[in-house]
């Protein structure tokens, strides 16, 4: 019994914290305001620790790879995996809404207004990939720019040869230190995530059974089936039956973390721990998981299709016309990969959808609210999908641990 608790103590304590938080959110929602700061403090500690971890993990992985061809194979296989998983999720969702249509959805009276952005597209593109000051790199709002900088730093460290050896030792040491720091922070997870889960239950829970019940029910059913069936299939391709067993044994902690925080970024430490226990080499896990956190989103793929489908229901148009389906797949890839690296990228994707299909303004509040209410499961799919993606990449690109 002691051995079981030792091996699963983190998961048991986290489940206990989430259970207590859920009960508080249901029976005493007024008390949530008093404990939510505990969740905010934990998340803030997590965010400030994860940002330097991303830099050290990515740059160290690139700098420590011995063969240039091996690095190219990892990047190519990673890109193929991300695209394959995202399109599979989208096509599966299209099939689900075709076989199990939502009978009727009427407009929502809730209005969500977004401030007008008068920046030129040129300025937007620059801001996606770069920042004006070095210190701005280390903000979770600029993750794509940080990833690019970490890539370039890793390349530069490799090209300098012997003279760059002290720096390569520094980034390798920095990675180990930041990993240990995150292990310390994660010891607070049962309290912090429990408090934050209480807030989620008290605020978002009641909205799940109102006007948006049908499309949300469809999303949660499709997402759960995809999570259980397709992630198992990916794990089987990656490692056979042992791969499936290893994945689900170690995916519990990242799943609970994603469900509690609704943040792929906050789930990254748990993902890296899971990848290590599964046996994925650091040179793969430290590239696929940080990059996937920004650019690989299975949950957003499913969400994009559901939102487009609901918007078409609202205005009475046929979603299943071939041209509409092709556009939906294109928008979904953009939302799941490109917009994932942009602050508020989900809103940009929704605006793109409205623009491409020339939908009326009345559809905007509905798709934005759906995007908010599906966030817990979407985050689980987005975040935990990075672990199985790393397994998939490792299956076809063998590197030493």
CA–CA separation, 240 and 237 (whole Å): 6
pLDDT in tens, 97-115: 999 887 655 444 443 333 3
* pLDDT tier for residue 361 given thresholds of 50, 70 and 90: low
* pLDDT tier for residue 288 given thresholds of 50, 70 and 90: very high
Structural domain tally of the chain? Answer: 1
Residue 200 lies in a domain: yes
Residue 170 has pLDDT above 90, yes or no: yes
* pLDDT tier for residue 343 given thresholds of 50, 70 and 90: very low
For residue 138, what is the DSSP state? Answer: G
Average pLDDT over residues 48-68: 78
Residue 6 lies in a domain: yes
For residue 224, what is the DSSP state? Answer: H
| Average pLDDT of the residues of the chain | 80
* CATH code (residue 297): 1.10.3860
Average pLDDT over residues 309-319: 81
CA–CA separation, 355 and 85 (whole Å): 26
pLDDT in tens, 194-216: 887 788 778 766 655 555 678 88
Average pLDDT over residues 71-85: 89
The first and second tokens of residue 158, run together, are 């490799």
Q: What pLDDT, on a 0 to 100 scale, did the predictor assign at position 231?
A: 97
Residue 368 lies in a domain: yes
pLDDT in tens, 384-396: 999 999 999 999 8
Q: What pLDDT, on a 0 to 100 scale, did the predictor assign at position 5?
A: 57
Q: Which residues of 68-92 are buried (b: 16+ CB within 10 A; e: fewer)?
A: eeebebbbebbeebbeebbebbbeb
Provide DSSP, 5-47: HHHHHHHHHHHHHHHHHHHHHHH-GGGHHHHHHHHHHHHHHHH
Task: Calculate helix-pair angle for 322-333, 345-357, nearest 10 degrees.
Answer: 160
Q: What pLDDT, on a 0 to 100 scale, did the predictor assign at position 212?
A: 65
Residue 4 lies in a domain: yes
Average pLDDT over residues 160-177: 89
Residue 139 lies in a domain: yes
Domain that holds residue 124: 1-396
Contacts of 46 (CB under 8 A, 6+ apart): 182, 185, 186, 192, 261, 266, 269
* pLDDT tier for residue 362 given thresholds of 50, 70 and 90: low
CA–CA separation, 202 and 206 (whole Å): 7
Q: What pLDDT, on a 0 to 100 scale, did the predictor assign at position 244?
A: 96
Residue 401 lies in a domain: no
Which of 13, 397, 53, 26 is closest to 187 using CA atoms? 13
Q: Is 383 helix (H, G, I), strand (E, B) or coil?
A: helix
Report yes or no: 83 and 333 within 8 Å, Cβ to Cβ: yes
Residue 64 has pLDDT above 90, yes or no: no
Residue 270 lies in a domain: yes
The first and second tokens of residue 204, run together, are 């978002």
CA–CA separation, 401 and 393 (whole Å): 14
Strands (E) located in 114-227:
none
Residue 248 has pLDDT above 80, yes or no: yes
Average pLDDT over residues 167-195: 86
Q: What pLDDT, on a 0 to 100 scale, did the predictor assign at position 92?
A: 96
Residue 140 has pLDDT above 80, yes or no: no
Share of the chain above pLDDT 90, in %: 25
173-176 LR contacts (CB < 8 Å, sep 24+): 174/52, 174/56, 174/60, 175/53, 175/56, 175/57, 175/60, 175/286
Q: What pLDDT, on a 0 to 100 scale, did the predictor assign at position 7?
A: 56
Average pLDDT over residues 349-357: 66
CA–CA separation, 215 and 360 (whole Å): 19
* pLDDT tier for residue 316 given thresholds of 50, 70 and 90: confident
Could you tell me how far CA 39 lies from the centroid of its own chain?
19
Q: What pLDDT, on a 0 to 100 scale, did the predictor assign at position 207?
A: 56
């Amino acid at each position: 019994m002691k051995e079981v608790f030792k091996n699963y103590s983190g998961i048991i304590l986290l489940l206990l914290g989430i259970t207590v938080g859920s009960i508080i959110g249901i029976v005493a929602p007024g008390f949530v305001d008093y404990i939510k700061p505990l969740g905010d403090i934990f998340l803030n500690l997590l965010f400030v620790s994860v940002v330097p971890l991303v830099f050290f993990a990515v740059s160290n992985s690139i700098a420590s790879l011995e063969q240039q061809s091996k690095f190219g194979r990892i990047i190519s296989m990673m890109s193929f995996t991300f695209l394959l998983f995202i399109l599979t999720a989208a096509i599966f969702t299209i099939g689900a809404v075709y076989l199990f249509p939502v009978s009727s959805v009427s407009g929502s009276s809730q209005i969500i207004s977004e401030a007008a952005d008068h920046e030129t597209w040129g300025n937007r593109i620059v801001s996606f990939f770069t920042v004006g000051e070095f210190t701005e790199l280390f903000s979770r709002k600029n993750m794509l720019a940080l990833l690019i900088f970490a890539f370039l730093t890793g390349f530069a460290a490799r090209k300098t040869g012997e003279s760059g050896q002290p720096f390569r030792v520094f980034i390798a040491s920095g990675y180990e230190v930041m990993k240990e720091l995150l292990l310390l922070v994660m010891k607070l997870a049962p309290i912090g995530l429990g408090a934050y889960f209480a807030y989620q239950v008290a605020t978002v829970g009641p909205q799940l059974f109102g006007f948006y019940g049908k499309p949300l029910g469809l999303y949660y059913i499709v997402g759960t089936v995809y999570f259980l069936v397709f992630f198992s299939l990916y794990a089987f391709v990656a490692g056979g039956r042992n791969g499936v067993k290893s994945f689900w044994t170690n995916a519990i902690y990242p799943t609970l973390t994603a469900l509690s925080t609704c943040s792929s970024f906050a789930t990254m430490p748990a993902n890296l721990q899971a990848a290590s226990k599964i046996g994925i080499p650091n040179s793969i896990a430290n590239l696929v998981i940080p990059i996937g956190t920004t650019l690989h989103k299975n949950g957003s793929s499913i969400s994009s299709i559901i939102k487009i489908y609901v918007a078409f229901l609202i205005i009475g148009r046929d979603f299943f016309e071939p041209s509409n389906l092709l556009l939906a797949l294109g928008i979904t890839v953009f939302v799941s990969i490109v917009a994932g690296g942009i602050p508020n990228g989900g809103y940009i994707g929704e605006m793109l959808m409205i623009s491409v299909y020339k939908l009326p303004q009345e559809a905007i509040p509905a798709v934005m609210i759906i995007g908010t209410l599906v966030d817990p499961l979407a985050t689980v799919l987005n975040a935990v999908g990075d672990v199985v993606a790393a397994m998939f990449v490792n299956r076809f690109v063998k590197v030493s641990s």
